[in-house]
A and B are shown apart, each in its own frame.
Chain A
Amino acid sequence: MTQAPFSVKGQAGPASAAAASGAPGGPAAAVHAETAGPSGLSGPPAAPAAASPGSKAALLRRLAGELRAAVISAAWLTFLALPLVVFRINSAFGKIDYLWGRLPKLAAVTFLATLAWRFLLRRTAFSRVKEAVSEAGGPPPEGARGPAGRSWLSLLDRAPAKKALFLALAAFLLSVPFWTSPYVVLILITALIYITLGLGLNIVVGVAGLLNLGYAAFFGVGAYTFGLLHSGLGLGFWACLPLGALSATVLGLLLGIPVLRLSGDYLAIVTLGFAEIFRLVLVNVDFTNGPRGIRNIPPPSLFGIDLNGAVKPFLAGKGLLHPDMDLNKVLIYFIILAIVALTVLCVYRLENSRLGRAWLALREDEVACQAMGINRTRAKLTAFALGSTWAGLAGVVFASQITFISPASFDFMLSVMVLSIVVLGGMGSIPGVMIGAAVLILLPEYLREFQDYRMLIFGLIMVLMMVFRPQGIIPGTRRVYLYSPSPGAGGGAAPSAGDGEGQGEGPAAPSPAGASSAPAAPAGPAAPS
């Protein structure tokens, strides 16, 4: 046999695809999930339509079973939530308010939620089975993408579309301050800060697979570096920007060195504990001004130009600016936009570097990664420190935007928010994180009535995403090495082999409709070799 060529191809794959098939007896386990899953919360599983699945009676019976199971589950959940939802403590009068009016709403919500839950669970189980089958059947050409990966998103894979989209987005973002209100600019600054945070945390959690629950502390270090250096030494924004990033990096290293020997879940809890220590120290120490925080943090300067005095009348006179716009905020907007661009570039380059691949290996399997000669400690430490750097940068910008920082801004909820951004968008995926941040930060701004439910929804998102779509909205692309049995020279015999060597777009996609049958076209040439 001649040496088999491997072709490299970017391919979307859930981060857990490997793990799913790694369970004892990949497809069998998945099939088990299919049968065990929909039995849901309680009650017997819906009777499988044994006779003819297409017949109307069977369908109705299945529907009835499904409804009955949903009613049982909803009743259970309602019963469970009853004392907390209906018996509200009225502490002012030391008695209970019985809010029976909440009961029908509660029942309706639980019923709909259970229906949706069961439907999604069934769908997920089905796609997992399909995935496992196509994985077991041969090289995973397109099937491994899962059903959603092949939707409209795949349009964006093409280079011209990507370029056009990118240019449009850049033009849009650059022009925003000149035609919107100050309020929009402020929200966008917040969103961009969270995008930076998300991208930084993405290196740690998404790429290297280290769960960092203390990300807020590194953000806080950046902000406090600026605040303290300004109030103590009178340093300005531009001097503090690198210093803030540096101090966050150093702190990341200092925390990283002792704790990175720990495995995933211990690491999570240590970073969480560390962030709490950081916050408690900020509250209790004198020179940070305790819970009162630091006030009057200045905006960045631009070569000493008085932006609001000199430039603003000029621009506003030409109708290019909202009359109430604060040009300092516009400057911050452009700075954070540049930081996001820089971050995207760095993260993208890092992911495709030697170090980035070491991180991926670390995420997938620590032992195997060590066996391949990767210095585990160093890879972890760099991921940790680099992730912190971006938190520090974002922290400095945050401080200058908000002009007032206090320990309360850097609590666990911030870490949770950034984590849910990464989880929602897709761990390890740059566009995913950006979309996740946009959704989670911008949406609550526009849906004010949901403001109270924000954290509730964040928690829910984390659970739902993990159960139904662990790869996120836009899964990270990962390199897949395709094995094609015959070398390119002997092209005549097997046309599909030639396709395998090409980039695999267009005609190479052998199962466009996502045919679930494994021994379809692609498996044929791959099996004998």
Chain B
Amino acid sequence: MELFLNLCVSGLTKGSVYALIALGYTMVYGIIALINFAHGEIYMIGAFTSLIFSMALGALGLSGWGLLFAVGFFAVAYCAMYGWTVEKIAYRPLRGQSRLAPLISAIGMSIFLQNYVQLVQTPNFLPFPDLIPDLGLKGGVSRYASQTQLAIVAATAVCMVALTLFIKKTRLGMAMRAVSQDPVMARLSGVNIDRVISATFVIGSMLAAVGGLLIGNYAHQTDFFTGFLAGMKAFTAAVLGGIGSIPGAVAGALILGFSESLAAGYISSDYEDVVAFVLLIAILTLRPEGIMGSATAQKV
């Protein structure tokens, strides 16, 4: 029972981080129907910038909550800028071309960013410090969940609420919903599509940065290749929940996190990564629209 609970908590933690990344995939797909392969790399850059700024600011004497929030601010800001720039360079010139072109461009961008970080930083694994200050947890809860895990789940929940409010309540959020429903109609009603697409990339990248910061604290290491696997899994989560759907992405991420943890705990941790891919192939074969998506007829 104790093992099961532990596995559930670790599944919830992983699922939360997957959700943070999966939202970027699902939002971009919802708006321009593109699998943004470079999104996993933005997450990796988030982890790297967090690490860099935590060391740089730590050397300046910052610590505790101040350090955590300063690092978070820089990581989020930089990832937002990266996301914006990537869209400008690799996707915007290809708008309106065949579907294969932006997809290949996205893969190229992902490979480029991976190798860029590998070349300018290091090809090795880097240790990641614990940035979350001691919360002073005692008693029942801490037997099953570490404070890092709790912090991750809490931070993810805050991000989700903020995102939901943003999408539901703000003008830009409304424009996003409009563009994802019908880009032509949205343009006709005066929505600046380019700005909406840029905003989508920026928001997705910010969430990925938060994910990168949190997973660094959890896994205590990072390297230039983490983005690939994390990106694949987050994409699986997005597809699982029905790509384009925001609550779907969160649900899919949690399901994926739980099934991975349980598989690692009860079957073999060697096959932990296989679970995601098997789940991906199974869901795409059996129910491509995902658990929360709805099947749409193809327009001719």
With both chains docked as a complex, state the minimum distance between the C-beta of A31 and any C-beta of chain B, in angstroms: 13
User: Chain B interface: which of A463-471, A478-486, A501-509?
Assistant: A463-471
B:253-300 near A, CB below 8 Å: 270-271, 273-274, 276-278, 280-281, 284-285, 288, 298, 300
With both chains docked as a complex, state the minimum distance between the C-beta of A89 and any C-beta of chain B, in angstroms: 6
User: Is A321 in the interface zone, CB < 8 Å from B?
Assistant: no
The answer to whether A452 touches B119, judged by C-beta atoms less than 8 angstroms apart, is yes
The answer to whether B52 touches A367, judged by C-beta atoms less than 8 angstroms apart, is no
* Bound form: Cα–Cα A283–B272 in Å: 13
The answer to whether B112 touches A470, judged by C-beta atoms less than 8 angstroms apart, is no
Number of interchain pairs (Cβ within 8 Å): 189
* Bound form: Cα–Cα A382–B78 in Å: 46
B81-115 vs A, Cβ < 8 Å mask (1 yes, 0 no): 11001001110011011111111110111111111
- Using CB atoms, name the residue of chain A closest to B127: A91
User: Chain A interface: which of B4-12, B142-150, B228-236?
Assistant: B228-236
User: Is B184 in the interface zone, CB < 8 Å from A?
Assistant: yes
The answer to whether A95 touches B55, judged by C-beta atoms less than 8 angstroms apart, is yes
User: Is A243 in the interface zone, CB < 8 Å from B?
Assistant: no
The answer to whether B121 touches A84, judged by C-beta atoms less than 8 angstroms apart, is yes
User: Is B53 in the interface zone, CB < 8 Å from A?
Assistant: yes
A458 partner, pick from B85, B88, B102, B111, beta carbons under 8 A:
B111
A265-292 vs B, Cβ < 8 Å mask (1 yes, 0 no): 1101110111011001101100000000
The answer to whether B184 touches A121, judged by C-beta atoms less than 8 angstroms apart, is no
With both chains docked as a complex, state the minimum distance between the C-beta of A442 and any C-beta of chain B, in angstroms: 20
User: Chain A interface: which of B43-51, B158-166, B201-209?
Assistant: B43-51
The answer to whether A89 touches B122, judged by C-beta atoms less than 8 angstroms apart, is yes
User: Is B62 in the interface zone, CB < 8 Å from A?
Assistant: no
Complex interface: chain A residues within 8 A of B274 (CB): 277, 280-281
Interface centre among A24, A81, A259, A455 (most CB of B within 10 A): A455
The answer to whether A83 touches B53, judged by C-beta atoms less than 8 angstroms apart, is yes
The answer to whether A280 touches B271, judged by C-beta atoms less than 8 angstroms apart, is yes
User: Chain B interface: which of A15-23, A323-331, A390-398?
Assistant: A15-23
User: Is B56 in the interface zone, CB < 8 Å from A?
Assistant: yes
User: Is B120 in the interface zone, CB < 8 Å from A?
Assistant: yes
The answer to whether A463 touches B89, judged by C-beta atoms less than 8 angstroms apart, is yes
New A-B contacts (18) at CB < 8 Å, excluding given A18-B98, A89-B48: A15-B98, A19-B96, A19-B97, A41-B89, A83-B74, A83-B78, A88-B121, A95-B55, A205-B100, A265-B103, A270-B281, A276-B232, A276-B273, A284-B270, A453-B115, A463-B108, A463-B112, A470-B98
Q: Which residues of B contact A (CB under 8 A)?
A: 33-35, 45, 48-49, 51-53, 55-56, 59, 74, 78, 81-82, 85, 88-90, 93-94, 96-105, 107-117, 119-122, 124, 126-127, 184, 228, 232, 235-236, 239, 270-271, 273-274, 276-278, 280-281, 284-285, 288, 298, 300
22 contacts between A and B (CB under 8 A): A23-B96, A29-B96, A41-B85, A84-B45, A84-B120, A89-B48, A89-B121, A94-B55, A102-B120, A259-B281, A264-B100, A269-B35, A273-B276, A283-B270, A367-B300, A419-B104, A423-B104, A453-B119, A455-B111, A459-B108, A459-B110, A466-B94
